[in-house]
Structure 1
Amino acid sequence: MIKRAIGVVVVGAALLAPTTATAQEHSPAAASRPAADGWQRVGDGITAGLSGLAVEARHGAAVDAVGVRDNKKPGQNRLVALGLRPDAAPRVRPLEWVGDLPVDLEAIDAVPGRPHEFVALASSGTAYRVVHGKDTAKVVAVFRLPGISPDANYEGFALSVVRGKTVAVWADRGQDDRPATLSAAEWNPADNSFGKPAAAEFRAPYPTENVRHASDVKLAADGRLTVSSAADPGDDGPFASALYDAGRITVDRAGRIRLAVSGAPHRLAAVTGHKVEALTCLPGSRTGILGTDDENGGGSVAFADFCRR
């Protein structure tokens, strides 16, 4: 069983401890161990944050994961392999990207039933299917999401099998008065094609200023959607985030994908001092991992109990 590293002060059960970044967290000594609040550093500076996370394997309390970084220039890292343990320093290994070079990767999830395969999503709505080798991330397909808007900024993506169908969910983040838009469709991993998408708006009650209503999304096997929201006032913060039970995916008797989004979402957790842009869950567990892109403050991860089995 993976030990929960952080505990939250919100409505309902506590899941995460509110945290404020300190100078000690940025010191070499602090980087060699988890911070007192449970956050673990995975990179320093504006090119080392995490904008998406996916679990690759689990070995008892140890988790192998991959994370994307929203870098835009040649020579900057796009995908990183992470070896995570609740009570030890993360192992961080940048991977060589082989294939069409993406700009601004914002999300990633594992392809169900295909070990070491992932779909990473750029903010433009372009998806990159990659295979993780020893030291590489090799692009095997590039495709566009259906129904994307040129004015949107896509920050969330998830894949899961719901009632026998592989379902993709993606999120345009929204901004302040403009709500996020969640979309869902059946996805065929054989040829990367999509069924007819369903869409609905999502608005986060908190944070309330400089808010991106959807900074990531994850889909459980029972169809429930977890959405992270984040406040981003600039490269130096201050940042704040929240997690929500946002709605549900169902499959009707005709096999069509249905999307229901809550107009009053239940808040699962709130975080101060970090911009949560990445969510992932350990299979068959309530334990998940949060990842942050704290801009000039770099990136961190933390274990938390926010998932559905």
Structure 2
Amino acid sequence: MITRAIGVAVLGVALLAPTTATAQEHAPTAASRPGTGGWQRVGDGMTAGISGLAVEDRHGAAVDLVGVRDNKEPGQNRLVAIGLRPGAAPRVRPLDWVGPLPVDLEAIDAVPGRPHEFLALASGGTAYRVVRDGDTARVLGTFRLPDVSPDANYEGFALSVLRGRTVAVWADRGQDDRPATLFAAAWNPADNSLGAPVSARFRVPYPAAHVRHASDVKAAADGRLTVSSAADPGNDGPFASALYDAGRVTVSRTGRIGLTVSDAPHRLATVSGHKVEGLACLPGSRAGILGSDDENDGGSVAVARFCRP
């Protein structure tokens, strides 16, 4: 069943065929896979988790990523560059943050058509537009999401260009009995303004306990949405996650934003032992990168086939 987005009804979303494979079983072949396969550590301890991921560049099998860390204190790293190369451990370079210091960054995506520019989202609803220049991330501007709820905790963010319009999608994670809420709105990169959002609630069947129904979201070129969910029982786990085909964001011929979300989302993959909080897809490929924030056990990344080109 497809639910209606609040304020907009869009029907006819086609979900993918069922699969029971795990994220690891979705990995690309060795010839196309960056890194050595499986999970690879990119940081140790509480301040080194990955809360969101975005692709910065790709050259063949080499992939460069930017990740956010949900740190809250001055002096702690906010943004990290991660290089994946075949047969090698990840290259990890913390970036110096120049500008207003965020608290609890939880998501990030690349700005379409603007190399090395990103939008990073803090859990309280403030977005930071940054540009990377070598080992520095400089803030170009900040803005608040519309209609921020004091009870919300925003953990997912995505940008996509549909019918020539840049569309932002973001998610309040939800918690246990409280479902996540997905939002979509047009975003104007000229002035960082967002249009009136549409929204829809989203709930997953797995994980079943200590669940954050949306720990990240990414949008494909056709607007289809992939959402990660995660179980977080505490700083030492045990963690579990899943990836879902959640629905779709659309733009009508008149420029109206639509959002559909499934009442029974199809599970694309199950991940054991990691709290997936970051999703990134390689352009034009089914291959993507998962990022985990495993609290006391630090952060890791893995390649998996979950994207829709």
TM-score (norm. length: structure 2)? 0.90
Q: Distance in 2 between matches of 1:156 and 1:86?
A: 28
Aligned to 2:6: none
Q: Distance in 2 between matches of 1:104 and 1:250?
A: 30
Q: Distance in 2 between matches of 1:94 and 1:60?
A: 24
SS in 1 for 2:308: coil
Aligned to 1:171: 171
Task: Check conservation: 2:22, 2:271, Cα contact below 8 A.
Answer: no
- What aligned pairs does 1:25-104 form with structure 2 within 5 A after superposition? 34=36, 38-104=38-104
Task: Give the 3 Å change call, closer, same or farther, for CA 13–208 of structure 1 in structure 2.
Answer: closer
Aligned to 2:252: 252
Task: Check conservation: 1:15, 1:306, Cα contact below 8 A.
Answer: no
Aligned to 1:120: 120
Aligned to 2:19: 12
Task: Check conservation: 2:24, 2:304, Cα contact below 8 A.
Answer: no
Q: Bigger CA drift: 222-231 or 145-154? A: 145-154
Q: Distance in 2 between matches of 1:113 and 1:70?
A: 26
- Consecutive aligned runs of 4 or more in structure 1 exceeding 2 Å deviation: none
Tell me by how many angstroms 1:164 deviates.
1.3
Task: Check conservation: 1:53, 1:65, Cα contact below 8 A.
Answer: yes
Aligned to 1:159: 159
Task: Give the 3 Å change call, closer, same or farther, for CA 157–135 of structure 1 in structure 2.
Answer: same
For structure 1, list consecutive stretches of 5 or more residues without a partner in the other structure: 1-9, 19-32
Task: Check conservation: 2:21, 2:270, Cα contact below 8 A.
Answer: no
The Cα offsets for residues 18-63 of structure 1, whole Å up to 9 and x where unpaired, read as 8xxxxxxxxxxxxxx85xx710110000000000000000011010
Matched, 1:130 2:130: yes
Task: Check conservation: 2:220, 2:308, Cα contact below 8 A.
Answer: yes
Tell me by how many angstroms 1:250 deviates.
1.2
Q: How many residues align?
A: 284
Aligned to 2:282: 282
Q: Distance in 1 between matches of 2:95 and 2:253?
A: 43
Q: Distance in 1 between matches of 2:182 and 2:303?
A: 25
SS in 1 for 2:152: coil
Aligned to 2:12: none
Task: Check conservation: 1:167, 1:186, Cα contact below 8 A.
Answer: yes
The Cα offsets for residues 143-162 of structure 1, whole Å up to 9 and x where unpaired, read as 00111111100000000101
The Cα offsets for residues 216-242 of structure 1, whole Å up to 9 and x where unpaired, read as 000111010000000000000000000
Aligned to 1:273: 273
Q: Distance in 1 between matches of 2:84 and 2:96?
A: 20
Tell me by how many angstroms 1:114 deviates.
0.2
SS in 2 for 1:150: coil
Aligned to 2:14: none
Q: Distance in 2 between matches of 1:163 and 1:269?
A: 30
Aligned to 2:226: 226
Q: Distance in 1 between matches of 2:116 and 2:20?
A: 34
SS in 2 for 1:209: coil
Aligned to 1:214: 214
Which letter does structure 2 place at the counterpart of 1:88? A
Tell me by how many angstroms 1:198 deviates.
0.3
Q: Distance in 1 between matches of 2:23 and 2:140?
A: 37
Tell me by how many angstroms 1:11 deviates.
5.2
The Cα offsets for residues 268-298 of structure 1, whole Å up to 9 and x where unpaired, read as 0000100000000000100000000000000
For structure 2, list consecutive stretches of 5 or more residues without a partner in the other structure: 1-16, 26-34
Task: Check conservation: 2:48, 2:69, Cα contact below 8 A.
Answer: yes
Which letter does structure 1 place at the counterpart of 2:229? S
Tell me by how many angstroms 1:86 deviates.
4.7
Across the aligned residues of Structure 1 and Structure 2, the Cα RMSD in angstroms comes to: 1.4
Task: Check conservation: 1:86, 1:303, Cα contact below 8 A.
Answer: no
Q: Distance in 2 between matches of 1:216 and 1:172?
A: 9
Task: Check conservation: 2:172, 2:180, Cα contact below 8 A.
Answer: yes
Which letter does structure 2 place at the counterpart of 1:58? R
Q: Distance in 2 between matches of 1:56 and 1:50?
A: 16
